[in-house]
Amino acid sequence: MSARRWLYLLHRWAGIALCLVMALWFVSGLVMLYVGYPKLTPAEQLRGLAPLPTQGCCVPLKQALQASGLHEPRQWRLASVAGQPRYFFGDGRKTLVAVDALTGQRISSVSEDEAVAAARHFAAGVDGQSLGPVQEDAWTHSRALDAYRPLHRVAVADAAHNWLYVSAVSGEVVRDASITERTWGWLGAWLHWLYIFRGGALGAWWTDIVIALSLAGCVLGLSGLTVGIWRWRFKGRYKSGSRSPYRAPLARWHHVLGLVGGLLALTWVLSGLLSLNPWRVFEAGGPKLDSRAYAGGLLQAQAGPSAEAVLATLAERGFAARTLEWRRVGGRQYVWAQSPAGGMLLDAQARPLQALDEAALVAAAAPMLPQARIQGREWLRSYDAYYYAREPHTMTGQRERPLPALRLVFDDAQAHWVVLDPASGALLQTSNSRQRLERWLFAFLHSFDLPQLLALRPLWDGWMLGFGLAGLALCLSGVWLGWRRLRMRHG
């Protein structure tokens, strides 16, 4: 049997096995253009919190830290739960401890009634009903929530019919899922990311299953594109008068669609595969950038400023803070205060700052990669191909991308870049050359997310919908042809 014949058979039977999966990926991708996986964005979280009290708050940081029982936590926050101020300490990954900011007592756990009260307050007084605790469910598949688990689910009677997920560890609302997200999500993100395999008996193999199916989809697409080109007569025609050998209209349309959109379909599936960083292809060798070195040391209670001093300063300026976050940048300690209207940075003496200057940011960033030097500086005053914001419902929509921002370029072999926020002192983004390659091979090929293209809506929508529907038509025609082939064999 010739190599071409083997390829024809490979494409035929791979299509029979995979075309339905591919069709479901295209359907779910179209849904995800407008309805994403549930998340609680920073802006939504701020809107749900009560302003911190300007008087009678709070116990000293040193006392709260001692009550937490944690050794050198790297994240310190002050926010409210059900309208009452509460400190939160953790490592930003798997550890989180809450301390009552009025009494200085550590929160050992959050009861179901307390969770309902927290959700009701977050939803501006709307009634809520407990749906019971969960460790993880269809709408909370996220490692970012691990420190907050288990979670209480509370259904609130607001306009969006939200489910609010309340941490049983801290009492915070950490996720909301509207009825739109929960309904369309089954056909969108849950289906697209094959979450049917996540969280159950096959949970440990979820990543491997997605990689295997994506890789098989790439084989299907590449074989189909090759076969389609081989069988198309660029010179001359078949006896039927067509350039395609297929007489049946659906088979002919499948051939034509494959030639016209097969390359796009292949790159779309390939980019989805690369989103999982299979075999760590986007991990660069050599020295790693140490993001913790940017702080220049651990947070220290005696270094200030105290919550009381910060809130007093903010009250004088009419700033109703919803959260305070202690930060260390280049060995100096600050507090970043936030409200729905914006943010304010205060130094260790609780004095407001306009922004950190370029020299201070460069000095703080240099120790992140001590064996290299900073060879370039660029102020970003508008979005570019590597630093840009997406709509909240998208996969990266929760990432804050403020402007202006300072980009620093290191001269190491991996060509590291860092982006810093002068307004808050935050480390906004880090990348190396391979991660920037991933930006093109995954993000661009999967969603054509250049800021210039995103600004051309609804033309961008038309392109994405047209390309998605063409891919869906290609796959559905393959499903029908495969079903007909199976019926012929078993008829």
Tens digit of pLDDT for each residue in 9-60?
Answer: 889 888 888 999 999 999 999 999 999 999 999 999 999 999 999 888 899 9
Q: What is the mean pLDDT of residues 64-81?
A: 95
Q: From CA 80, how far away is CA 78, in angstroms rounded?
A: 7
Beta bridge partners of 336: 325, 345
Q: Of 229, 273, 210, 214, nearest to 7 (Cα)?
A: 229
Q: What is the mean pLDDT of residues 286-305?
A: 93
Phi, psi dihedral angles at 376 (to 5 degrees): -145, 145
The torsion defined by the Cα of 65, 71, 77 and 81, in degrees rounded to 10, comes to -70
Does 488 score more than 90 pLDDT? Answer: no
The kind and range of the H/E element at 408 are strand 405-410
Q: What angle do CA 256, 470, 233 make, to 5 degrees?
A: 10
Q: From CA 472, how far away is CA 25, in angstroms rounded?
A: 9
Tens digit of pLDDT for each residue in 384-397?
Answer: 999 999 999 999 99
Q: From CA 409, how far away is CA 403, in angstroms rounded?
A: 18
Q: What is the mean pLDDT of residues 412-425?
A: 97
Q: What is the pLDDT of residue 225?
A: 94
Among the listed ranges 163-177, 226-240, 396-410, 461-475, which one has the minimum average pLDDT value?
226-240
Q: From CA 418, how far away is CA 320, in angstroms rounded?
A: 31
Q: From CA 426, how far away is CA 399, in angstroms rounded?
A: 12
Residue with tokens 């008068």, as numbered in its chain = 241
Q: Do the beta carbons of residue 76 and residue 97 sit within 8 Å? A: no
Residue with tokens 């009560």, as numbered in its chain = 50
Q: From CA 7, how far away is CA 227, in angstroms rounded?
A: 7
Q: What is the pLDDT of residue 1?
A: 66
- The one-letter amino acid code at 381 reads R
What is the Rg, in whole angstroms, of the alpha carbon atoms belonging to the chain?
Answer: 27
- CA 129, chain centre distance (Å): 29
DSSP codes, 309-325 = HHHHHHHHTT---SEEE
Q: What is the pLDDT of residue 284?
A: 86
Q: From CA 282, how far away is CA 274, in angstroms rounded?
A: 9
> How far is CA 421 from each of CA 128, 292, 357, rounded to the nearest angstrom?
38, 16, 10
Q: From CA 135, how far away is CA 117, in angstroms rounded?
A: 20
For residue 112, the tally of other CB atoms under 10 A from its CB is 16
Residue 220: partners with Cβ closer than 8 Å, 6 or more residues away: 11, 14, 15, 18, 19, 22
Residue with tokens 């914006």, as numbered in its chain = 342
Q: What is the mean pLDDT of residues 238-248?
A: 90
Structure tokens at 194: 């094959």
- The one-letter amino acid code at 103 reads T
Q: Do the beta carbons of residue 350 and residue 309 sit within 8 Å? A: yes
Does 491 score more than 80 pLDDT? Answer: no
Domain boundaries, the chain: 3-35+200-281+459-490
Does 302 score more than 60 pLDDT? Answer: yes
Q: What is the pLDDT of residue 490?
A: 62
Q: Do the beta carbons of residue 228 and residue 259 sit within 8 Å? A: yes
Q: What is the pLDDT of residue 472?
A: 95
Q: Which parts of 413-485 are beta strand (E)?
A: 417-420, 427-431
Q: Of 136, 269, 141, 270, nearest to 195 (Cα)?
A: 141
Q: Of 98, 72, 74, 152, nearest to 120 (Cα)?
A: 152
The answer to whether the bond into 404 is cis (omega within 30° of 0) is yes
Tens digit of pLDDT for each residue in 426-463?
Answer: 999 999 999 999 999 999 999 999 999 999 999 999 99
Tens digit of pLDDT for each residue in 325-355?
Answer: 999 999 999 999 999 999 999 999 999 999 9
DSSP letter assigned to residue 434: H
What is the residue-averaged pLDDT of the chain?
Answer: 94
Phi, psi dihedral angles at 94 (to 5 degrees): -120, -5
Tens digit of pLDDT for each residue in 475-487?
Answer: 999 999 888 888 7
